[in-house]
Amino acid sequence: MSNVCPTLGIMSILAASMMGSASHLFADDAISMHSHPGYRTWVDINGRWHVLMSPMRSIRCPYINAAGASAVDLPHTWNALDGQDGGADYLRTTAAYLKRIPIPERYENERVFLKVGAANSVANVFLNGRFVGEHRGGYAAFVFELTDVVDWGQDNDLLIFVSNAMHPDVPPYGADFTFFGGIYRDVSLLFTGPLCISPLDHASSGVYVTTQEVGAESATVTVSIRLDNSGSTRSNLRARMEIIDREGETVANEETVLENVRHGQSSTSVAVEVAKPHLWHGIEDPYMYTARLTLLDGDQIVDRDEQSFGIRTFNVDPDQGFTLNGKPYPLHGVNRHQDRQDIGWAISRKHHDEDFAMIRELGCTCVRLAHYQQDPYAYDLCDQLGLIVWAEIPLINRVFHTNAFRENSRQQLIELIRQNYNHPSICFWGVHNEITAPWEPGPDPIPLVTELAKLAKAEDPTRQSVCAATTPDENAANWQTELVAFNRYFGWYHDSADDFGAWVDQMHEKHPAVPIGISEYGAGANVAHHELPPKKSQHDSHWHPEEYQALFHESHWRQIDARPFIWGSFVWNMFDFACDQRNEGGAPGRNDKGLVTYDRQIKKDAFFWYKANWSDEPFVHITSSRFNQRYNQTVPVKVYSNCSEVSLSVGDRSYPVKQSNNHIFEWPTVILSAGSNTIRAVGTDQGQTMTDQCEWHYVAPE
């Protein structure tokens, strides 16, 4: 079958509206910020696409009737609303994304590549009616070369079909969150010369920075480069590497001669010694360097790329936990999904900034970016903030014993590693989540997870593989990775929160040579539900009082903190998130285990419990502040704070100053007056004063 379609259905109905924005794509002022004259130009093409839902088409032929298409900007998802409203009925279909792009004739001697940041979950790309390529997988970037199908100096019709239907060969086949459809990350064009640092190595940068032999006096930095040459063999080229510190000074450089760069793919490497390296040391000192790679033909630059990286070492011990640069470094943090209320996965850099500012405010030292590869900007933020990262692929709940499923799992792991190889924040590659869940049928997962753990080590020997395991604890599939962590919900799905410690001690005793972590633990909370004292919530009920979540986390953190052998612990979840099939806690379509609400507007009480334990920023927080309608005149008041002492007043009545060694300050018998009462807590710490207050209304009996 030909890869050329005789009729392309991007009809004149779209031409006028699409040309309005496309004509400015290549204006000199539009590309100057993203170009390196003579060797590399990036062009953002996010603006003004047209999307047509459920188009009629035939395989490998993009003929469509464009009537009814809607104008959108990328990132975009068609499930922003129906993916969060409950009912398990959000639209899982195929959509056509269309854009007309004029490509100036002056680029005719260059190569052009299309980069899509992510499209969930299967994408087919056509240019000018010709099939360019297919990508299967909803979370990694992908790149296709367009050079041979571009009409230079003319308008080019770009069409991308995206499907978020269920695909048995593409994990995840099923998972406990909404699979938002669409092109939900950035899309751009890259122009290069015939010889370039390759963008085609699984959509990576083509530059891989490895630090070795790290000591106080020096560190070895080795940079591997993937090259792609569409022309004839080139000789006597040079690859120059410069290491640039945070102040912009070159601290090391080296060159190597490339004798014969053949047509097609090839690779080279350059190594250099960095004297007295400044180490990347987590939140205390997230110091970054830049590796600048330049390809030269004489004095002419052929191509250039820059990659940020950090120099650090780490280790995980079964008894002592995690160490960074030879020093104990306790890992306590959260899990993070990438969706937002009314936005889904089509989030902006502003949203990422807000999310990670709250994660950092909490005092986290680590984050698990679950359950899939997230936006490159998220990993950049973790580098800059010093957050240790667990990155993972979406192999969730079950496997299929088909070669296509196996190959796609391998592909997604390779994409995750190569696209994110240079981030010092990443220490762990996750290969599966709850793959042995007893409620999921399917074949034996051990062969596949074992293969993936070995693949992760082969791709990147400097980091460690990990899995998020679940019951049964002793299933062999849980023990194929270098590290193990468990998703356990004592006090929510089973048993009591206070039973957690005995269980984790048992795991440590039974597997003394394997580092044990806690990948998930949490409880739901609706900020409109309140009860004192709270009864144990039923996870599938419609009553999720905020007070129970807080007690759950008080119990768990005390037990985790007392066990330094736990190499890392990750609260499930930092933010409430969409799960369209759920109906619990009074919020259909929502998993409400977040420490922060889905819209990011309310930090729940449990958020401040962890901030009191993890953060050095002084504060006070009155718990149950939203429980503002009271029917008992005598009530308890509880405050979370990291201050040395806290005082309390209710209206004109003052209560004794309290001190605490566990960040909880309590006044068990506070008297309310009929009507409105101002509750005010004041904390002091090293001369600083922090205040929190709220209003409670006491309804006196008639």
pLDDT band at 485 (very low <50, low <70, confident <90, very high): very high
Superfamily per CATH, domain 629-698: Immunoglobulins (2.60.40.10)
- Pull the structure tokens for residue 262: 């053949």
β-partners of residue 222 are: 210, 271
Q: Where are the alpha helices (DSSP H) in 469-539?
A: 500-510
Q: Answer whether 241's CB lies under 8 Å from 293's CB.
A: yes
- Asked whether the domain spanning 629-698 has the same topology as the one spanning 207-309, the reply is yes
pLDDT band at 185 (very low <50, low <70, confident <90, very high): very high
Catalytic residue set = 434
Measure the CA–CA gap between 639 and 318, rounded to whole angstroms: 35
- Percent of the chain clearing pLDDT 70 (strictly above): 92
Task: Spell out the residues 6+ positions from residue 215 whose beta carbon is closer than 8 angstroms to its own.
Answer: none
Q: So what's the pLDDT on residue 30? A: 39
Q: So what's the pLDDT on residue 61? A: 58
Degrees to nearest 5, angle at CA 648 with 638 and 615: 60
- What average pLDDT does range 335-353 have in this prediction? 98
State which CATH number among 3.20.20.80, 2.60.40.10, 3.10.450.50, 2.40.50.140 fits the domain covering 207-309: 2.60.40.10
Distances (CA, A) of 662 to 92, 164, 560, 690: 48, 47, 14, 18
Structural element, H or E, at residue 447: helix 446-459
State which CATH number among 1.10.3430.10, 3.50.50.60, 3.40.50.720, 2.60.120.260 fits the domain covering 12-194: 2.60.120.260
Q: So what's the pLDDT on residue 9? A: 46
Q: So what's the pLDDT on residue 54? A: 81
Q: So what's the pLDDT on residue 438? A: 65
- What average pLDDT does range 514-528 have in this prediction? 97
Q: So what's the pLDDT on residue 440? A: 64
Q: Is the pLDDT of residue 416 over 90?
A: yes
- What average pLDDT does range 577-602 have in this prediction? 97
- What is the DSSP code (8-state) at residue 478? G
- What average pLDDT does range 564-581 have in this prediction? 98
pLDDT digits (tens, 9 = 90+) for 4-42: 453 344 433 344 334 344 445 554 333 333 555 568 999
pLDDT band at 392 (very low <50, low <70, confident <90, very high): very high
Q: So what's the pLDDT on residue 418? A: 98
- Pull the structure tokens for residue 82: 């129906």
Q: So what's the pLDDT on residue 1? A: 36
Q: Is the pLDDT of residue 330 over 90?
A: yes
- What average pLDDT does range 418-428 have in this prediction? 98
pLDDT digits (tens, 9 = 90+) for 190-237: 999 999 999 999 999 999 999 999 999 999 999 999 999 999 999 989
Domain residue spans in the chain?
12-194, 207-309, 629-698
Measure the CA–CA gap between 643 and 661, rounded to whole angstroms: 10
pLDDT band at 537 (very low <50, low <70, confident <90, very high): confident
β-partners of residue 617 are: none
Task: Spell out the residues 6+ positions from residue 658 whose beta carbon is closer than 8 angstroms to its own.
Answer: 639, 645, 646, 647, 648, 665, 666, 667
For 322, phi then psi, to 5°, come to -90, 135
Residue carrying structure tokens 């593409």: 170
Measure the CA–CA gap between 245 and 34, rounded to whole angstroms: 22
For 408, phi then psi, to 5°, come to -70, -35
Residue carrying structure tokens 């014993």: 401
Q: So what's the pLDDT on residue 3? A: 53
Query: Average per-residue pLDDT in the chain?
Result: 92
